[in-house]
């Protein structure tokens, strides 16, 4: 068989179609997960979140998040002397939204998460709270949850 330009075009398009089919099949094996389920609402409230971050940056002491491998827990603590009137602490992974954990900060200064059921690796912790005087705050950090 003689190899001419027509044969080359057929081989090229066959390889191209095969690679596209392989790409589509391989990407449909994994469920699409968003990092934040309500990303659109978060984007609309960007200015509010920025002001909350600026309020947190103006504090004398920043909040603290500590991973304790001995007790297999994460403790998120507001700055000393501050108590949240209302608020939430969210711990999430970028890889999947199925493992998200949320705790309430109502009339307290800390929240604790058990890490026994958490997948080891990088986690994000977000604290959003409001004090009794109505001032709103937001703080986020990344944590590493150790393996067992």
108: DSSP letter: B
136 or 148, greater pLDDT: 136
pLDDT of 51 reads 95
Which alpha helices (DSSP H) does the chain contain, by range?
Answer: 5-27, 39-44, 46-57
* Largest pairwise CA distance in the chain: 85
Q: pLDDT tier at 22 (50, 70, 90 boundaries)?
A: very high
Protein fold of 39-145: Immunoglobulin-like (2.60.40)
Where do the domains of the chain lie?
1-30, 39-145
Q: Whats the size of the chain, residue-wise? A: 148
The 10s digit of each residue's pLDDT in 76-105 is 999 988 889 999 999 988 877 788 889 998
Is residue 44 predicted with pLDDT exceeding 70?
A: yes
Q: Report the distance separating Cα 89 and Cα 110, nearest Å.
A: 9
Per 3-state DSSP, the chain is made up of helix, strand and coil in percentages (nearest 5) of 30, 30, 40
For residue 64, what pLDDT band results from cuts at 50, 70 and 90? very high
Asked if 139 and 54 count as a contact pair (C-beta separation under 8 A), the reply is no
Query: 103-146 pLDDT, tens per residue?
Result: 998 888 889 988 888 889 999 999 999 998 899 999 999 999 98
pLDDT at 1 over 70: no
In tens, the pLDDT along 5-20 reads 988 999 999 999 999 9
Per-residue tokens: 109? 């200064």
- Whether the model clears a pTM of 0.85, i.e. scores above it, the answer is no
């Amino acid at each position: 068989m003689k190899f001419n330009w027509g044969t080359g075009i057929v081989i090229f398009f066959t390889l191209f179609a095969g690679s596209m089919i392989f790409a589509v099949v391989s990407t449909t094996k994994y469920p699409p997960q968003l990092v934040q389920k309500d990303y659109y609402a978060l984007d609309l409230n960007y200015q509010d979140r920025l002001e909350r971050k600026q309020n947190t940056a103006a504090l004398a002491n920043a909040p603290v998040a500590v991973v304790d491998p001995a007790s297999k827990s994460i403790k998120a603590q507001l700055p000393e002397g501050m108590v949240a009137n209302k608020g939430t602490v969210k711990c999430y992974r970028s890889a999947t939204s199925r493992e998200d954990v949320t705790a309430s900060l109502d009339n307290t200064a800390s929240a604790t998460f058990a890490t026994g059921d958490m997948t080891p690796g990088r986690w994000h912790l977000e604290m959003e709270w409001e004090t009794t005087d109505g001032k709103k705050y937001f703080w986020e950090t990344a944590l590493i949850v150790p393996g067992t």
